[in-house]
Chain A
């Protein structure tokens, strides 16, 4: 099946710095990827929809200047947490759909990135 790879799996950064998380579709091209945030013991909250070659669509309440999304190619989307603060510490997960695949409605998830801001 389709594979989505997310990197890094864990990252610790200092307050005020920026962190970039990568999401790659390894064996298919994804025109759309999704970024989720998950707090401990809570559900996945959709942050934004990443569209290849155009601006991301952010969900209500998500600061687009805080969470920069770039989808420069059909296999890579990046999420940059700018000027990170401890409250940004969370589990970030991306997903992608393989529009050309047999199961073209299934969303494949990355393994997640645990961000800790100290």
Chain B
């Protein structure tokens, strides 16, 4: 059972917007930056968002993220077929001596 809770799935038609939530606690999201990863089918994960809302070079501005308290969210606007993937939120957790924790993952389907 993951420490960070995400909905198992999300879907929308091309061109629409989809939002993924990530619920944590004071020891992880409440205390540390949130990062988001995209994993295309059969591929290694890729950094999508770092430090709550920063996009690495090369990541389209259709991807945006925010954090409030112990929760975070990722939004994908103008959804495209190539956005079909698994998305994971993640953060450092200060409890139990410290460890990195991933969300349970959300599969985005483009209808």
Chain B binds chain A = no
